Amino acid sequence: MPTPSRNLSQSISRKNKKATKSVAGSGVPKGWPLEVTYIRAPIYSKALSTDLNAPNSTGSTSTLSSTISLPLGPSQVVRIGAISDPSHPANGQHGLFAVRHLAPDSLILPYLGFVHGKEDADSNSDYDLSLDRDLGIGVDATKFGNEARFINDYRGVSPAGPNAEFREMWVDTGNGKSEKIMGVYVLSAGRSGKRSKGIAKSEEILVSYGKGFWSERRKDQE
């Protein structure tokens, strides 16, 4: 297990304290499960030895233009909703729905959770999203997360495919630095403009988990 440097350990500790304070400081979204801690900033594994911070001056123009500040409270553009459609793969569970119209290419919300390396990854998690494949870093929303953990896969729900996707994004951490996380974005309209309507109010937000996710789940069931 890698040992983080002293400076990185202190940085992670400060971030974790900040996230914990934000949880205690205000409410959680309606429908939030009691067994999961609602967070407004990533929680970092103490085993991480890689600093995900980078000076803004070294970023590309596209990276810097997407640098944002994390939201201070529950999202105002989505809601967690119970699913009661027998034909829905997640029937009896929950999904994430738009509270208002969401335009193509717009950021819906960040995907927050427990940022970890290969050493402390949970192979049984259904909420683990890759953050950096080369470094083996992921973000797992099993025990810590925000509303993004409720986004379902489009398969079996929408014949037209997903209406949102995961993209790398950067958040402002102060002192001239930004940090890479994953965000959920409305799909672009595309060259033909067939997705120019974006996501309508009350529509379920759906992404593609990827074929790899489902192939692994089939292996587990064999």
Tokens 């999202």 sit at which residue?
Answer: 75
pTM comes to 0.79
Q: HSE (CB half, 13 Å, CA atoms) of 140?
A: 17
What token pair was written down for 30? 């309606």
Domain residue extents for the chain = 6-221
Read off the tokens for 195: 């997705």
Sign of CA dihedral 213, 48, 145, 61: negative
CB neighbours of 161 closer than 8 A, spacing ≥ 6?
154, 208
Q: Please give the class, per CATH, of domain 6-221.
A: mainly beta
Say if residue 121's pLDDT is above 50: yes
CA distance 57 to 61: 10
Average of per-residue pLDDT values in the chain: 80
Burial label for 22, CB within 10 Å (0-12, 13-18, 19+), is middle
Percent with pLDDT over 70 in the chain: 74
**Contacts of 221 by beta carbon, 8 Å cutoff, 6+ apart:** none
In this predicted structure, what is the pLDDT of residue 14? 47
**H-helix or E-strand spanning residue 180:** strand 177-186
Coil, strand or helix at 168: strand
pLDDT band at 53 (very low <50, low <70, confident <90, very high): low
